[in-house]
Amino acid sequence: MEVIPAIDLLEGKCVRLYQGDYDRSQVFNENPVEVARHWVEQGATRLHLVDLDGAKQGKSVNLNVIELITAAIPIPVQVGGGLRDRSAVANLLNLGVQRAILGTVAVEQPELVTQLAQEFPGQIVVGIDARNGLVATRGWLETSAVAATELAQRMAQQGAAAIIYTDIHRDGTLSGPNLPALRELANAINIPVIASGGVSCLTDLLSLLALEPLGVTGAIVGRAIYTGDVDLKEAVQAVGNGRLQDVPSDFGSSTFA
């Protein structure tokens, strides 16, 4: 299972939101490229970037920063936020981004997912952000009447390469992932699931590792690696080995500076 560091971009800075609330953002670093390099040095094999401005405005806003990050590191990057049409997706992939994450359009324009999955095979991922089991859209500002599991099944049939599942109530809270919801989702589809939201410690990651046989192939970690509650280098090693005893006794003692 991959441990995937998240870099959330707001006004060109690396921030974290609390439960998706733009009014409760915390700036962790004003140089996202520096942050990306740091996570690569700590053993990251993939980065997860979110254009928060883009998600809110419905169009890509932080493309210049995304391009700089992609050019600066040797590992794959996946990006979501504000991708509402073919042009936005194509522009992003042309920058060297490996996978584009579609969210709002999966609910509002599902036929676009099918079209893009055919045009860019293996590069279209659907992000399902759920609030009380229902899919939220437009930067989490609206909640639809579509159930997360139902949407995941539909998107798997339409060619999505993977599903990223985020429990909004847990995102940025360090309260642990929603394991029952992830188990239900993974059991319902036959494509990989990447967990996001709530990871607070190594134990959370090992709990997700237990779901790997069901298809949970990755865990996105945000706030915890910025506060030092999770040490990325040690987490990558521990989850890769799948053994708690591989973790040093001072695990989680370092903080990104």
Compare 141 and 234 and report the one with higher pLDDT: 234
| Active centre residues (catalytic) | 8, 129
Specify the pLDDT at position 173.
Answer: 58
* Residue 131 clears pLDDT 60, i.e. is over it: yes
Percent of the residues in the chain that have a pLDDT greater than 90, as a whole number: 65
Tens of pLDDT, residues 142-185: 677 789 999 999 999 999 999 999 888 665 557 789 999 999 99
> What CATH class does 2-241 carry?
alpha beta
**Residue type, position 20, single letter:** G
Tens of pLDDT, residues 18-35: 666 676 778 888 899 999
* Residue 139 clears pLDDT 80, i.e. is over it: no
Which run of H or of E encompasses 242? none
Mean pLDDT of the chain: 87
Specify the pLDDT at position 248.
Answer: 38
- Mean pLDDT along residues 209-229: 94
Specify the pLDDT at position 75.
Answer: 97
Q: How does DSSP classify residue 62?
A: -
DSSP-derived secondary structure for the chain: -EEEEEEEEETTEEEEEETTEEEEEEEEES-HHHHHHHHHHTT-S-EEEEEHHHHHHTS---HHHHHHHHHH-SS-EEEESS--SHHHHHHHHHTT-SEEEE-HHHHH-HHHHHHHHHHSTT-EEEEEEEETTEEEETTTTEEEEEEHHHHHHHHHHTT-SEEEEEETTTTTTTS---HHHHHHHHHH-SS-EEEES---SHHHHHHHHTTGGGTEEEEEE-HHHHHTSS-HHHHHHHHHHT-GGGS-TTTT-----
* Residue 218 clears pLDDT 50, i.e. is over it: yes
> What pLDDT band is residue 243 in, cutting at 50, 70 and 90?
very low
* Residue 254 clears pLDDT 90, i.e. is over it: no
Tens of pLDDT, residues 42-98: 999 999 999 999 888 889 999 999 999 999 999 999 999 989 999 999 999 999 999
Specify the pLDDT at position 19.
Answer: 63
> What pLDDT band is residue 251 in, cutting at 50, 70 and 90?
very low
Distance CA 209, CA 213 (A): 8
Rg of the chain on CA atoms, in Å: 17
Q: Are strands 134-137 and 142-147 parallel, antiparallel or unpaired?
A: antiparallel
* Residue 197 clears pLDDT 80, i.e. is over it: yes
Q: Which contacts of 248-254 are long-range, i.e. CB under 8 A and separated by 24 or more positions?
A: 251/202, 252/201, 252/202, 252/228, 253/228, 254/228
Residue with tokens 């989490």: 140
Specify the pLDDT at position 79.
Answer: 97
Compare 93 and 198 and report the one with higher pLDDT: 93
> What pLDDT band is residue 255 in, cutting at 50, 70 and 90?
very low
pTM of the entire structure?
0.87
Distance CA 142, CA 203 (A): 32
